[in-house]
């Protein structure tokens, strides 16, 4: 299973989390976020990562030009769009960034929220489903209503996000069968400061599930 830990801000934590088993790390490229990192910070962190680890930049309503510049200057392998980006924007971005994974995040409020996903399915590579918050785009710590996704069977790989932590992740995976999971606040001491003990406990739970 793909395991993405998002909101990485410190090189030593990024390296340790990768060594614990993360398959992807996320970097918040949104200036208003308490987890924001600059391109220079991203370069410093990814320089210490094994090549097997995906490096995902998270953007909210950024221009295609800004995204392209950051991808080119940091060595990101994927882009996660967490705002109101249109299907057409996703299509254009996919064309302009060949070889770069395009992930589109959706904040799910009700089962009806899933209907908007169809328009994106041939424009992106991966879907991410997060909890809805009226003011915040992500990293809220709020749990998604997993029952809403009981019948969710998209044509693309998808990541489950929204309030996951070492204590509830197995409950979510008993109900759903995502391609991967995405955690941020659920393995933090404070915004951008990961708790490596909690990360280790997460992988202990996941490893026990796969036995």
Catalytic residues, which ones?
6, 130
- Strand duo 2-6 + 193-194: pairing: unpaired
Closest CA to 35 of 72, 8, 73: 8
Task: Tell the burial category of 163 from Cβ atoms under 10 Å away from its Cβ (0-12, 13-18, 19+).
Answer: middle
Report the C-alpha gap between 40 and 100 in whole angstroms.
20
Using N-to-C axis directions, what is the helix angle for 39-46 and 64-74, rounded to 10°?
A: 40
Asked whether the beta carbons of 166 and 187 are under 8 A apart, the reply is yes
For the beta carbon of residue 175, count every other beta carbon within 10 angstroms. Answer: 11
Helix (H, G, I), strand (E, B) or coil at 67: helix
- Strand duo 188-190 + 193-194: pairing: antiparallel
């Amino acid at each position: 299973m793909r395991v993405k830990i998002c909101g990485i801000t410190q090189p030593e934590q990024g390296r340790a989390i990768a060594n614990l088993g993360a398959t992807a790390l996320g970097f918040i490229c949104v200036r208003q976020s308490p987890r924001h990192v600059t391109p220079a910070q991203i370069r410093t962190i990814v320089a210490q990562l094994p090549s097997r680890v995906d490096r995902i930049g998270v953007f909210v309503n950024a221009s295609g030009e800004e995204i392209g510049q950051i991808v080119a200057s940091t060595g990101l392998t994927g882009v996660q769009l967490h705002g109101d980006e249109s299907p057409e924007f996703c299509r254009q971005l996919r064309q302009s960034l060949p070889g770069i994974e395009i992930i589109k995040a959706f904040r799910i409020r009700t089962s009806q929220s899933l209907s908007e996903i169809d328009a994106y399915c041939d424009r992106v590579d991966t879907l991410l489903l997060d909890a809805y918050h009226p003011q915040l785009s992500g990293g809220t710590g709020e749990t998604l209503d997993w029952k809403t996704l009981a019948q969710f069977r998209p044509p693309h790989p998808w990541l489950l996000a929204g309030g996951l932590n070492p204590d509830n992740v197995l409950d979510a995976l008993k109900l759903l069968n995502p391609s991967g999971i995405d955690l941020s606040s659920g393995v933090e001491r404070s915004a951008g400061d990961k708790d490596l003990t909690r990360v280790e406990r997460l992988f202990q739970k996941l490893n026990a599930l796969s036995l």
